[in-house]
A = this chain, B = another copy of it.
């Protein structure tokens, strides 16, 4: 029914069948820690991965206050990271999909500062951090890739700060959808047709908007023909229009001038 292929594990026969779970065979390895590593270095990385862990929908991978021991690479499925302040208000720090690395925020003080929750049945590779630290000291390429990954997380958050500060609701939604599309494209999926794995409320939590605003903005995007949206099935009809919106309609002005 859904036009989007649910990402399922390649015939997951037994949880102890490690063949399909090796980094070298993982189709997302170029987006993950093994990126750029030689075969045998990937094999060494494989060896320190404690286990593949299933996390079913709505289950928590880790939560605020949990002691930090491991990073987690998403193998398949989707996660959100949630911060809750003392008043119970939630902010979604990000949505994470195959190849993304989770838990880096916890290295600093040894405990997690957000909750990681699966948006659907998912699987992660658990990477014990102490062993990773040993390994990066032996594999320069792995060290570099790890640093790049943390740095990109810093950059990503800075760009979130930017749109939280300055963008209107419409821009935020347009940018959000384009960002998702781009990430699916990176992973070899359709960038024009996919499922939103998160609720409207989660989208709002990420974009700094209420559910109602998200709903209204999506309605507007639907009305002006930019997207087709049934429940969570999304199809991007006019990517260009979304891009114009995401930059605050400035492209229009330029176009008018030029």
Contacts and interface: CB of A to CB of B under 8 A. Distances in A.
Interface in A142-164: 143-144, 147-155, 157-162, 164
Contacts of A164: 161, 164-165, 208
20 contacts: A83-B161, A91-B158, A91-B161, A91-B162, A91-B165, A93-B158, A104-B150, A104-B154, A105-B151, A105-B155, A105-B158, A108-B151, A108-B154, A113-B158, A136-B137, A137-B143, A150-B154, A164-B165, A165-B208, A166-B208
A114 interface: yes
Nearest to A88: B250
Q: How many copies does the complex hold?
A: 2
Majority SS at the chain A contact face: helix
Nearest to A208: B165
Interface residues of A, number: 44
A48 to B, nearest CB: 16
Contacts of A93: 158, 161
A255 B13 CA distance: 57
Given A137-B143, A140-B133, A154-B105, A161 B160 contact: yes
Contacts of A157: 154, 157-158, 161
